Chains A and B, each alone.
Chain A
Amino acid sequence: MRPNVVFLSLASDFGCQVQITNFPELLEMLGTFDLSYWQLATSAHMPSEYDIAVIEGACTTQEHVELLEKVRARAQVVIIVGACACTGGIPSLALNGDLEEGLHLVYGEAAEKVAWGHIPPRPIDAVIDVDFKVLGCPVNPDEFSSILQRALLGLVDNVHRETMCSSCKINENSCFYAQGKVCLGLVTAAGCESFCINRGRACTGCRGIAADANMKAAREFAAKYALEQEFLNGLEIYNSHAKGLVHDDSFC
Chain B
Amino acid sequence: MTTLSVNHVARIEGHGDITVDVDEGVIKRITMDIVEPARIFESMVVGRTFDEAPLITSRICGICSANHAVTSILATENAFGIEVSERTKKLRELLVYGSYLQNHGTHLYILAAPDYVGLPSVFPLAETAPEIVKRALALKRLGNELCTLVGGRAVHPTTAVIGGFTSEPTRTELLSFGKRLEEAVRDAAATVELFGSFDIPRYETKSDMLSLVASDNYAIVEGEIHSLTHKWNRPVSDYRALMQEEVVSHSNSKHVMVDGKPFMTGAIARVNNSWDQLLPSARVVASKVGMRPVMKNPFYNNICQAIELVDAAERCAMLCYELADSNGSASPVEFKPRKAVGYGATEAPRGTLYHTLEYDRNGIVTAGDVITPTAQNLASLEADMRAFAPSILSLEHDEFILKIEQLVRAYDPCLSCAVH
Pairing of A with B? yes
> With A196-B158, A201-B161 known to touch, is A138 a contact of B38 (CB < 8 Å)?
no
The CA of A12 and the CA of B415, in the complex, are separated in Å by: 10
Give the residues in chain B near A17, CB-CB below 8 Å. 62
Chain A 86-113 against B: per-residue CB contact (8 Å), 1 yes, 0 no? Answer: 0001110110110001110111101001
Contacts of A1 in B (CB 8 A): none
A94 to B153, CA, bound (A): 26
Chain B interface, DSSP helix/strand/loop, else mixed: loop
- Given the interface pairs A24-B137, A97-B46, A105-B42, the reply to whether A19 lies near B62 with Cβ below 8 Å is yes
Which single member of A24, A90, A201, A204 contacts B166 (CB below 8 Å)?
A201
A40 touches B11 (CB 8 A): yes
Size category, B interface: 35 or more
A178 to B120, CA, bound (A): 55
Nearest Cβ on chain A to B153's Cβ, whole angstroms: 7
Q: A43-B11, A102-B40, A200-B159 are contacts. A96–B47 as well, Cβ < 8 Å? A: yes
| Interface membership of chain A positions 14-26, coded 1 if the CB is closer than 8 angstroms to chain B and 0 otherwise | 1111110110100
The docked-state distance in angstroms from the alpha carbon of A16 to that of B13 is: 12
A11 within 8 A of B: yes
The CA of A13 and the CA of B10, in the complex, are separated in Å by 16
Minimum CB distance partner of A138 in chain B = B155
B267 at the A/B interface (Cβ < 8 Å)? Answer: no
Q: Which residues of B contact A48 (CB under 8 A)?
A: none
Residues of B close to A121: CB separation below 8 A: 39
The verdict on B63 contacting chain A, using a C-beta distance below 8 Å, is yes
For the complex, is A118 an interface residue (Cβ under 8 Å from B)? yes
Q: Out of B13, B46, B153, name the residue touching A14 (CB < 8 Å).
A: B13
Contact at B247–A15, with CB atoms within 8 Å? no
Q: Determine if B191 is an interface residue (Cβ-Cβ < 8 Å).
A: no
Beta-carbon contact of A233 and B49 below 8 Å: yes
- Nearest-Cβ distance from residue B328 to partner chain A, whole angstroms: 17
Count of A interface residues, CB-CB < 8 Å: 55
Q: With a CB–CB cut-off of 8 A, which chain A residues contact B10? A: 39, 42-44
**B279 within 8 A of partner (CB):** no
Cβ of A97: which chain B residues have Cβ within 8 Å of it?
43-44, 46-47
Complex Cα distance A114/B126, Å?
40
Q: Is the CB of A39 within 8 A of B61?
A: no
Residues of B122-150 at the interface with A, using a CB-CB cut-off of 8 Å, are 122-123, 126, 137, 140-141, 144
B167: A residues at CB distance < 8 A: 199-200
Chain A residue with the shortest CB-CB distance to B253: A114
Q: Is the CB of A22 within 8 A of B154?
A: yes
- Taking a contact as CB atoms under 8 Å apart, the answer to whether A14 and B63 are in contact is yes
Please encode chain B, from 64 to 86, with 1 for each CB lying within 8 Å of some chain A CB and 0 for all others: 01000000000000000000000
Is residue A41 contacting chain B, with contact meaning CB distance below 8 A? yes
Contact A91 B43 (CB under 8 A): no
Task: Determine the chain A residues whose CB is within 8 A of the CB of B166 once the complex forms.
Answer: 199-201
How close is B248's CB to chain A, nearest CB, in angstroms?
A: 8
Q: A42-B10, A44-B121 are in contact. Are A15 and B38 (CB under 8 A)?
A: no
Q: A189 near B: Cβ within 8 Å?
A: no
A217 is an interface residue with CB less than 8 A from chain B: no
> Cβ of A114: which chain B residues have Cβ within 8 Å of it?
38, 247, 249, 251-252
Q: Is A145 an interface residue (CB 8 A)?
A: no
Is A137 interfacial (CB 8 A cutoff)?
yes
Residue in A closest to B168 when the chains form the complex, CB atoms? A200
A12→B40 contact, CB < 8 A: no
- Listed by A's residue number, 18 A-B pairs whose Cβ atoms lie within 8 Å are A13-B416, A14-B62, A15-B62, A15-B63, A15-B156, A18-B154, A42-B10, A42-B123, A43-B121, A60-B39, A93-B44, A97-B46, A103-B38, A114-B247, A138-B153, A200-B166, A233-B49, A237-B56
Residues of chain A whose beta carbon lies under 8 Å from any beta carbon of chain B: 9-19, 21-22, 24, 27, 39-44, 60-61, 64, 89-91, 93-94, 96-97, 101-103, 105-108, 110, 113-115, 118, 121, 137-138, 195-196, 199-201, 204, 233-234, 237
Given contacts A19-B155, A102-B43, A108-B247, 11 further A-B contacts (CB under 8 A): A11-B36, A11-B39, A15-B65, A18-B63, A22-B144, A103-B43, A110-B247, A115-B252, A137-B59, A199-B158, A201-B158
